Amino acid sequence: MTKWQLFLQIEQSFQVHRSYGSMLEGEADELKRVFLEGNPYLLGLTMIVSLFHSLFDFLAFKNDIQFWNKNKSMEGLSAKSVVLNFICQLIIFLYLLDNDTSWMILASSGVGVCIEFWKIGKAMHVEIDRSGKIPMLRFRDRESYTQNKTKEYDALAMKYLTYVLLVLMAGFAIYSLKYDKHKSWYSWILSSLTSCVYMFGFIMMCPQLFINYKLKSVAHMP
């Protein structure tokens, strides 16, 4: 009876997760197979590593928020990288939305997009221009960013980075159009952009690394 009650509670838990969209059909059977066929020591080690990964991810997230919340100067920091990170997060969010992802993952990605946009407000002056029929957002560099070599180095690094990214994105987009299937032209564009973000995301660090090299300092970094 105890064993049957345990199985019943687990099955009800799976049903709740499926109703919330956090578990797809077939994942319950896959989870059962992991517990029945997997090595218990390896499974325990995987759980411990996952917990540490979640902890470190949360601490990095918290420190990033604290740094930008207290930061008053953009000297030595790449403002263009902040804008580029927001665009990448927005592309990933739209891709998840187009592929009917569960609302839990969408919510997490949506929060990330909002935080990246908030960081733009910390890196630049964001103003609402009401002179036209439609209000528009206007972005203006901060004085601490323009009064030294930071803006010059940032623009130089982004110039060469743009050339590299455009070539890589164009090449992958053509490859994806020829060999992959897509629901629509919109899906093809989103899929190509998202794949480029995942594959070449490390290149986004280049402007900040270039600024650090030119200024011979990392004192401005979080």
What digits encode the pLDDT tens for the residues 58-81? 888 888 889 888 888 888 888 888
Three-state DSSP class for 198?
helix
- Place 101 in a pLDDT band, splitting at 50, 70 and 90: confident
Least confident of 28-42, 72-86, 184-198: 28-42
Average pLDDT (84-107) is 85
Transcribe 7-55 into DSSP letters. HHHHHHHHHHHHHHTSS-TTHHHHHHHHHHHS-HHHHHHHHHHHHHHHH
- The verdict on residue 154 lying in a domain is yes
Number of folded domains that form the chain: 1
- The verdict on residue 217 lying in a domain is yes
- The verdict on residue 123 lying in a domain is no
- The verdict on residue 152 lying in a domain is yes
- The verdict on residue 177 lying in a domain is yes
How much is the pLDDT for 134? 84
How much is the pLDDT for 131? 81
CA nearest to 214, candidates 206, 79, 222: 206
CA distance 183 to 193: 15
- The verdict on residue 209 lying in a domain is yes
* Residues pairing with 136 in the sheet: 129
What rounded mean pLDDT belongs to the chain? 84
Q: In the chain, what's the furthest Cα-to-Cα distance?
A: 75
Query: Token pair for residue 37?
Result: 């066929």
Least confident of 84-93, 102-111, 146-155, 212-221: 102-111
* Domain of 194, in residue numbers: 146-221
Greater confidence (26 vs 125) lies with 125
Q: How far is CA 197 from CA 77, 84, 116, 120, 218, in A?
A: 21, 10, 15, 19, 26
Tell me, yes or no, if the pTM score tops 0.95: no
- The verdict on residue 183 lying in a domain is yes
How much is the pLDDT for 55? 86
Q: Is the pLDDT of residue 85 over 80?
A: yes
Q: Output b/e per residue, 166-188; b: 16+ Cβ within 10 A.
A: eeebeebbeebeeeeeeeeeeeb
Greater confidence (103 vs 177) lies with 177
- The verdict on residue 212 lying in a domain is yes
- Place 23 in a pLDDT band, splitting at 50, 70 and 90: low
Q: Is the pLDDT of residue 48 over 90?
A: yes
